[in-house]
Amino acid sequence: MEHLKSLPLSQNAYLCNTAYDELIEPGGQPRPAAKPLFDYLARLRPDDLEARREAANAAIMTMGITFTVYSDGANIDRAWPFDIIPRVMSRTEWMRIDIGLKQRLVALNLFINDLYNEQRIVKDKVFPLEVLAGSRNFRPQCRGITPRFGVWAHICGTDLVRDRDGTVYVLEDNLRVPSGVSYMLENRHVMKRLFPEVFNTCSILPVDDYPARLFDTLAALSPRDWERPVVAVLTPGIFNSAYFEHSYLAQQMGAYLVEGSDLVVGEDDCVYLKTVSGLTRVDVIYRRIDDDFLDPEAFRPDSALGVPGLMRAWRAGKVGIANAPGAGVADDKVVYTFVPRIIKYYLDEDPIIPNVPSYLCMEDDQRDYVLANLDKLVVKPANESGGYGMLMGPRASSEERGKFAELIRANPRNYMAQPTLDISTAPTLVGHELAPRHLDLRPFVLQSKIQYATTGGLTRVAMVEGSLVVNSSQGGGSKDTWIVDPGEA
């Protein structure tokens, strides 16, 4: 750490750190892309970082940036947990990731469209019928439909991790109602307030065009050809954990923020918004409600969140919906293991970004391996999210591993396993020192008429020492993500 001795780095933590660090090379030098940041930090007085952390917390409270945690039947709004030391990546590395993310979403959309139509990939025995038959998110109500541009998943949040050897892997795809992009945008706003000098001197690629890109993606789905389609963000309401994001994106796009009771489907199969001036036709709905609750006529009849007749309107081509109902068939951790084959089948290309090596519990030999090595593996259920329902084998008790073994034997289709990666770290302000904390990255990819990927994404960080759980619902925090060009810094 000789090269960084002017910074408040936790020497012992970094001497013992075996993971790849995003900002610091093994010898103690900052990585080239991070050097301008560290040069700037080295010039700060000892109490400056603490002052900036307090300013960040105050800004987050003032701006009302919150998320909701569900605990013991109560909904608790908490200020967004934020670390002021950004994650830095070079533009050169990001360009390859950008191409790989777009490749992946193109293939996944071809896959979804195939499943709801000809099912060629099943007939050709590339994707098992057993997996499709066991999918909780395959919607028979969507059979025979091809949405505009053949795109079902218009917004995808892809989780990336880096292993100790520097390899970037796709950890999972989020294709149903991916969240977190508003926090990516607000993280950048906060950082510009805290470190304006760095933004003036470094070539940090912007992220603030996302709302405009999102609007363009949605507007392209409009069944009516006119300049400014009417777009609505459909939210479950104020008690949803991502309500801040729903309202934020609606405001940024100039879209209506609506609940199911605000909309009605007419006899002409068009969707209308109830206003004080009468009914206004809605062209596109950005839904933030799961399929089950979207339309009580088509899915759960007891849903009070959805819009009766919405599926009928969508099938008739009278409204665009993003993400399309049924897109979640590809948002399954078992389906995830087949994505390299899916890319090869539809695009005749190898994946640019690899999957984490995975084991399918539905395969006898792989299940035997998983059951014999539960103390070394992470086991995930097919359809849970937010870090729930999984087993972190190395940290679990023998009793917990035994219970999970029974779950796997009872329903092997529902489980897959992966080795425990020593995912990368980055310096994080803990107390008065910078210490390594594990993190991941969720970029957001848009697809309709054209494609777009955010430059960087939402970096989520495990604030507890040694923890690999980055989800905010389980104590994780976040960082701004800087994609920089060292040659232009």
Residue spans of the domains in the chain: they are 2-91+425-488, 96-156+207-347, 359-419
User: Within 10 Å of residue 349's Cβ, how many Cβ atoms?
Assistant: 11
Could you give the angle at which helices 210-219 and 243-253 cross, rounded to 10 degrees?
Answer: 80
Give the CA dihedral 470, 472, 478, 483, nearest 10 degrees. Answer: 70
> Among 25-29, 228-232, 326-330, where is mean pLDDT lowest?
25-29
Give the chain's length: 489
| Element at 425 (helix H, strand E) | strand 425-430
- What is the per-residue pLDDT across 250-282, written as a single tens digit (0 to 9) for each? 999 999 999 999 999 999 999 999 999 999 999
pLDDT tens-place string over residues 296-319:
999 999 999 999 999 999 999 999
Report the CATH architecture of 96-156+207-347: 3-Layer(aba) Sandwich (3.40)
Contact 109, 153 (CB under 8 A): yes
- Residue 79 pLDDT level (bands cut at 50, 70, 90): low
Q: Which of 112-121, 153-162, 236-245 has the lowest mean pLDDT?
A: 236-245
From 221-235, 375-389, 411-425, the region with the lowest mean pLDDT:
375-389
pLDDT tens column, 284-298: 999 999 999 999 999
**What pLDDT, on a 0 to 100 scale, did the predictor assign at position 227?**
78
Q: Which of 335, 324, 383, 342 is nearest to 142 (CA)?
A: 324
46-62 tens-digit pLDDT: 788 889 999 988 888 88
* Whole-number pLDDT of residue 117: 98
- Residue 190, pLDDT above cutoff 70: yes
Residue 189 is inside which H or E element, if any?
A: helix 181-194
d(CA 239, CA 168): 35
pLDDT score for 3: 61
Q: What is the CATH number of domain 359-419?
A: 3.30.1490.270
The pLDDT score that the predictor gives to residue 468 is: 82
Task: Please confirm whether the linkage preceding 323 is cis (ω < 30° from 0).
Answer: yes
**Quick one: 467 exposed, middle or buried, by C-beta within 10 A (0-12, 13-18, 19+)?**
middle
Predicted confidence at residue 489, as pLDDT, reads 45
Does residue 452 register a pLDDT over 60? Answer: yes
Indicate the average pLDDT of the chain. 91
Domains 96-156+207-347 and 359-419 share a fold: no
Category of 485 on φ-ψ map: left (φ > 0), alpha (ψ -120 to 50) or beta: beta
Six token digits for residue 442:
């969720």
